[in-house]
Amino acid sequence: LHLPTHLPTDLLAYPLTCLSTHLPTYLSIYSPAHLPVYLLTYPPTYLSIYSPTHPPTCLSVCLCISIYLPIYLSTYLSIYLSIYLPIYLSTYLSIYLSIYLFFFISYWFSLVEGPLSGEKLEVVDSFRYLGDQVSSGGGCAESVAARIRIAWAKFRELLPLLATKGLSLRVKGRLYDACVRTTMLHGSETWAVTAEDI
């Protein structure tokens, strides 16, 4: 079983020193929003909450666990076996146990229901829109980096002309301003500049 090497930045890690004390509080906050939950343990086995009235559901190929309310003191933790998560060990742990190595990590699905006829829309950190790079965190750092890459590509296209000896420096400068500089500054008036960018 391989742990993911990169986890999203908007994770919420919740260390549980005693499941019977903190788990109902955690679930009352996050279960109504139907947030997927990672339950990480050490060594890296993944457990799901088992309840007779609300059985665990494997929500994605990722190690994603959905927990439903209500949760009772008689609820047990068990390793959830599925085709997506092959585990060759089965055990039951009482919820009364004080477990120090569990962390609940909750964040939204990478695929959410979109407004386009119920199609799945992928949630990404940034995307290209009308030649501009829009990022979830705001700011213009990614837009600037994207325009610089595009300008460098345009410069490499014009390099044979700019390096030729048959053109004067004035013509080369005007050619650079008309093609490379214009490409680099295209759409800069719409960049959302923040204090960090300045």
Phi, psi of 128 (to 5 degrees): -90, 130
pLDDT computed for residue 195 by the predictor: 76
Distance, in Å, from the CA atom of 23 to the CA atom of 9, rounded to the nearest integer, reads: 23
Q: pLDDT digits over 93-124, tens only?
A: 333 322 322 333 333 344 444 566 666 666 77
Q: How many distinct structural domains can be found in the chain?
A: 2
Position 43 in a domain: yes
Within 10 Å of residue 102's Cβ, how many Cβ atoms? 20
The predicted-structure confidence for 70-80, as pLDDT tens digits, reads as follows 333 333 333 33
Q: Are residues 87 and 141 in the same domain?
A: no
Q: Could you list the residue range(s) of the whole structural domain that residue 152 is in?
A: 126-190
Point out the residues of the chain with pLDDT beneath 70.
1-122, 131
Question: According to the model, what pLDDT value does residue 92 have?
Answer: 37
135 and 77 both lie in a single domain: no
The residues pairing with 12 across neighbouring beta strands, listed in sequence order, are 106
The residue among 111, 135, 152 that closes a domain is: 111
> Is 69 domain-assigned?
yes
What does the pLDDT read at residue 116? Answer: 62
Q: Other C-beta atoms within 10 Å of 48: how many?
A: 22
pLDDT at 117: 65
Domain boundary among 111, 143, 162: 111
In a domain? residue 120:
no
Question: For position 174, what pLDDT does the model report?
Answer: 92
Burial class (CB in 10 A: 0-12, 13-18, 19+), 104: buried
Closest among 58, 57, 69 to 31, alpha carbons compared: 69
